[in-house]
């Protein structure tokens, strides 16, 4: 199995808004098809950031004439959009001979992070060449790695259990503030203050989130 890790920035309806509203987006393209001189893409994204910033992001995205359908619930975003055929974007070159190892991450600077795999190196090389040469409005493109690896080294994401809004917010805050680093960079009392809730409430949110997330994480570990 061959794997490549890439990062780039281009003129993108998501990336531009991630930078504008200080929001990050994680997810996948679900489907793509061509019709009447346009290329249509369906996306699933999970948005991360301050609630008010995320809401502004979504409202602004709705105004984009290229967005034809959009549903938003919690932090989950589904939408259908199009580009003109001649307006090439990285998703244009994704095909069934390659697959995602991890979700695409678009950070709050508008930079995209992709990790792809294939049985043959040539398919990854073809994707890299096409994306690098013809992506619309490409600002920069970096190949972080392209190498052969064992299948056990590849993480295959799966559906995660649904968390309540309080559990999700608490878990994300704890992660972003370094609670899960070693050594820990914060504690629950400090996190509760940042979240503006009582310590017992925050502790319960974290424990409930871990209770739901950790079993699936353990199941995903290589045997």
**Nearest partner of 127 among 96, 83, 102, judged by Cα:** 96
**Nearest partner of 90 among 61, 127, 116, 120, judged by Cα:** 127
Whole-prediction pTM: 0.70
Q: Specify burial of residue 205 (Cβ count, 10 A radius: 0-12, 13-18, 19+).
A: buried
DSSP string, 141-159: EEEEEEEE--GGG-----P
Task: Give the pLDDT confidence of 37-46 residue by residue, as tens digits.
Answer: 899 989 989 8
Task: Give the pLDDT confidence of 163-222 residue by residue, as tens digits.
Answer: 788 888 888 888 888 888 878 889 999 999 999 999 999 999 988 888 877 766 555 454
Residue 137 confidence class, pLDDT cut points 50, 70, 90: confident
Contact 177, 194 (CB under 8 A): yes
**Structure tokens given for 76:** 């989950």
């Amino acid at each position: 199995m061959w794997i490549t890790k890439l990062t780039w920035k281009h003129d993108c309806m998501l990336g531009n808004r991630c930078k504008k509203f200080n929001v990050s987006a994680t997810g996948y393209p679900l489907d793509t098809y061509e019709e009447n001189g346009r290329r249509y893409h369906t996306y699933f994204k999970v948005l991360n950031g301050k609630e008010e910033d995320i809401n502004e992001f979504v409202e602004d995205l709705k105004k984009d004439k290229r967005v034809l359908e959009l549903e938003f619930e919690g932090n989950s975003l589904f939408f259908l959009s199009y580009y003109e055929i001649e307006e090439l974007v990285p998703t244009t070159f994704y095909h069934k001979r390659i697959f995602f190892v991890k979700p695409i991450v678009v950070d709050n600077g508008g930079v995209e992070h992709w990790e792809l795999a294939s049985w043959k190196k040539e398919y990854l090389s073809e994707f890299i060449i096409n994306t690098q040469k013809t992506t619309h409005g490409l600002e920069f493109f970096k190949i972080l790695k392209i190498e052969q690896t064992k299948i056990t080294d590849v993480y295959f994401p799966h559906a995660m259990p649904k968390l309540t809004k309080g559990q999700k917010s608490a878990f994300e805050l704890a992660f972003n503030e370094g609670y899960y680093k070693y050594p820990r960079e914060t504690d629950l009392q400090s996190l509760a203050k940042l979240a503006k809730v009582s310590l017992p409430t925050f502790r319960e949110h974290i424990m409930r989130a871990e209770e739901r997330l950790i079993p699936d994480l353990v199941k995903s570990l290589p045997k």
